Structure 1
Amino acid sequence: MGQGDGGRSGASARRGGFQIERATNGRYQWQLKAPNGRIVAVSAPVFESSDEAHRAVAVLRDEAAGLTARITHVRAGIGWIWVVPGPRGLPEARSSRAYERYATCQNAFRRFVALLERQLPLPDRP
């Protein structure tokens, strides 16, 4: 569900912000969308509950100013992706797509951090 959308979907939901999605396997992941609706980043791990996904979003948002990216070449194909490593070295967030140029990937990470810093806290879970 989108940040601040009260659980609505469709035309009444906000196009930008965090959205928690439930996969067909029953687990949860988040996406961060830009105001234009484009997916900017996705959670690297999957979560057992939407509450876990919400907590992960809160931690990222609180630590936005200090986040660093590991930029790597994609294994299959051409391009670069950024990954935010967590405290144990496991990925916490990643780019939603590969970028043709290294510099473009760096800029995409900077835009992710700027967008992340502007996000309001997700509503409390019932």
Structure 2
Amino acid sequence: MAGQRMDGGEAGDSPRRDPAQGERRGSVQAERDVNGRYRWSLKAPNGRIVAVSGSVHEDAVQAWQAFEELRGAVPGFVVRITHVRDGIGWVWMVPAPRGALAARSHRAYERYATCQNAYRRFVALLETPGAVQVPLSADEF
């Protein structure tokens, strides 16, 4: 997938550092899918993808709006951890209203407890002020 970071960088760039704090931050990217639609992905400060959007969006702005809605809904999250259909592992999912999927883990985890911890890290990243570098306007896409 070709992508562009929602903080203005390119998809392959390393995570941005906050010059005021001198530390790395996570980032959000809008990536174009093979069908031409967009998904957001959330990267941790270490550069690993933590979560991806559960649904596709017509453009990068809609993907960004969906991510912002997700950040605002953190206190009401209900997580579903389930075994993958084919293969070995566990994945976490955050359902959206009306049965859609708001977010999901980027990969399957071998152990249930590891999957739980990955979900907790995802929530902590969303809840921590300044932990995710976000664009200031739609022009930065």
Which TM-score band applies after superposition, normalised by the shorter structure? 0.7 to 0.9
Q: Which runs of 5+ in 1 are unaligned?
A: none
Query: TM-score if structure 2 supplies the norm length?
Result: 0.79
Aligned to 2:20: none
CA distance in 2, matches of 1:11, 1:79: 29
Match of 1:95 among 102, 105, 122: 105
Number of residue pairs matched by the alignment: 124
Letter paired with 1:56:
A
Amino acid in structure 2 at the alignment position of 1:83? M
Match of 1:2, as an amino acid? R
Note the C-alpha offset of 1:89.
1.8
Change (3 A) 1:74 1:121: same
Q: Could you tell me the TM-score, scaled by structure 1's length?
A: 0.87
Work out the percentage of aligned pairs sharing the same amino acid.
58
RMSD, matched Cα: 1.9
Matched residue SS, 2:50? strand
Task: Show structure 2 runs of 5+ residues with no match.
Answer: 17-24
Q: Where does residue 19 of structure 2 map in the other structure?
A: none
Distance (Å, rounded) in 2 between the aligned partners of 1:72 and 1:94: 11
Aligned partner of 2:69 in structure 1 is: 59
Q: Distance in 2 between matches of 1:111 and 1:70?
A: 15
Task: Return structure 1 stretches of 4+ with deviation > 6 angstroms.
Answer: none
1:41 aligns with 51
